[in-house]
Amino acid sequence: MKAFHYVTLLLCASTLFACKNSAPVTHKTDRDTIPVQLMKLDQQNNTTAIAVSGQFTTDDEVLLSFKTGGIINSLLVKEGDAVKKGQLLATLNLTEINAQVQQAQLGQEKAKRDYQRTLNLYKDSVATLEQLQNSKTALQVSQQQFNLVAFNRKYSEIHAPENGFILKKLADVGQQVSSGTAVLQTNGAQNGKWQLKVGISDHEWAQLKLNDHARIETTAAPGQFLEGVVSRKSEGVDAATGTFTAYISLTGKKPQAIAAGMFGKATITPSAHAAHKGTWQIPYEALLDGDGNSGYVFITNDNKTAHKVKVTIAGIEKNTVTISDGLQDASALIISGSAYLTDNSAITIHSSLTAAR
């Protein structure tokens, strides 16, 4: 009986020892993975439209001024008036300039008499050759002096350089102005040479080429679109705005509801030769922690593990984001379930969408 108890104790001890040293068995379940939706990544050329805004202007806006200083005698137009080429717009009080013209004319007449008298004396061998030459020089000087004051007299009046409109009146009758002070601002809007002047970033400046197509809209004509092309790009940054400048020239028939300074929006489509390689169009909701031109997305290369990567944002549209860098080594983008992921999270594929372009 005693031997039986010893055997029983030995069996129990061996059983406990075996249980203590055996490793616990765990079973991995689907509860440890996060279901996600994928989009295949395909790096292709991109011709994303560029949205810009600016003000309407013409390519011939001019600030008009007097050649000489003086008191404004008359302003014959008002802001908004239509003018014809050569039309008289403003004059100075001509009392002073007319006196200068008269003085120069009298000096010229005297120089002519002196020269003729000296010439006659020279023929009679009374005057010397030097005296004749000096009188001839004095005559030529007086003629040039008369031409000078006659020129100033001509530009003591302001005439319209082209058919157009008066944009601004910058001075009033009775005001004394100096030479070159702007009095009126005009443009050649009657010729229909309208442009939309817009500011663009350096990235957009590099994308745009001359003659790229643009579609323009303005609140003055709701529901109507104007067609245009990029006609000019600045070669330097505007110091006032810190951006480059582009001009979109309107094509087609002359617009009726456009005025200088009016606000307009345009969508420019870069031409094929301006396309930038190495960009992706991804859904807006796939982007995380966007900050300026950078953000984060989750990608996967094996459909089992999610990786968080930093990307460079080239542009944002209504529902998509253009990525220019950061997805070169990725095969698929996670577009659903990202909020529950961390770097190296295990995933299961719920469904896949078409390739991102």
Domains by residue range for the chain, with CATH: 34-46+277-356 (2.40.420.20), 51-59+187-274 (2.40.30.170), 95-155 (1.10.287)
Q: Is 213 helix (H, G, I), strand (E, B) or coil?
A: strand
Q: What is the pLDDT of residue 91?
A: 95
pLDDT above 70 coverage of the chain, percent: 84
- The two tokens of residue 41 are 């990544």
Q: b/e for 107-120, b at 16 or more Cβ within 10 A?
A: bbeebeebbeebee
pLDDT confidence of 356, banded at 50, 70, 90? low
pLDDT at 12 over 90: no
- The two tokens of residue 341 are 């992921």
pLDDT at 354 over 50: yes
pLDDT at 220 over 60: yes
Of the chain, the end-to-end C-alpha distance in Å amounts to: 85
What is the spatial distance between Cα 216 and Cα 231, in angstroms, rounded to a whole number? 14
CA distances from 320 to 42, 70, 272 (A): 15, 61, 20
The segment with the largest mean pLDDT, out of 17-31, 40-54, 164-178, 190-204, is 164-178
pLDDT at 177 over 90: yes
Q: Could you tell me the pTM of the whole model?
A: 0.54
- The two tokens of residue 310 are 């930093």
pLDDT confidence of 25, banded at 50, 70, 90? very low
Q: What is the pLDDT of residue 278?
A: 59
Backbone angles phi, psi at 110, to 5 degrees: -65, -40
pLDDT (mean) for 326-333: 86
pLDDT per residue over 28-71, tens digit each? 455 578 888 888 886 555 557 888 999 988 877 889 999 999 99
pLDDT confidence of 199, banded at 50, 70, 90? very high
pLDDT confidence of 97, banded at 50, 70, 90? very high
- The two tokens of residue 117 are 């008298």
What is the spatial distance between Cα 217 and Cα 52, in angstroms, rounded to a whole number? 11
pLDDT (mean) for 153-159: 94
Q: What is the pLDDT of residue 114?
A: 95
Q: What is the pLDDT of residue 206?
A: 81
What is the spatial distance between Cα 353 and Cα 203, in angstroms, rounded to a whole number? 30
Helix%, strand%, coil% for the chain, nearest 5? 25, 40, 35
Residue 153 one-letter amino acid: R
Q: Is 65 helix (H, G, I), strand (E, B) or coil?
A: strand
Residue with tokens 């000078």: 148
335: nearest Cα among 33, 53, 40: 40
Residue 280 one-letter amino acid: W
Alpha carbons within 13 A on the beta-carbon side of 128: 3
Residue 333 one-letter amino acid: L
CB 72 within 8 A of CB 172: yes
Q: What is the pLDDT of residue 43?
A: 56
Sheet holding 176-177: strands in order across? 157-159, 88-92, 70-75, 176-177
**Mean pLDDT (the chain, rounded):** 83
What is the spatial distance between Cα 186 and Cα 173, in angstroms, rounded to a whole number? 18
H/E stretch holding 200: strand 194-200
Sheet holding 82-83: strands in order across? 62-65, 182-187, 164-169, 82-83
pLDDT per residue over 289-323, tens digit each? 877 788 999 999 888 899 999 998 887 877 888 88
What is the spatial distance between Cα 190 and Cα 188, in angstroms, rounded to a whole number? 5
Q: What is the pLDDT of residue 6?
A: 47
pLDDT at 115 over 90: yes
What is the spatial distance between Cα 300 and Cα 132, in angstroms, rounded to a whole number? 101
- The two tokens of residue 340 are 């529950």
Backbone angles phi, psi at 211, to 5 degrees: 75, 10
Question: Which range among 36-50, 134-148, 169-183 shows the weakest confidence by mean pLDDT?
Answer: 36-50
CB 330 within 8 A of CB 301: yes
Q: What is the pLDDT of residue 104?
A: 95
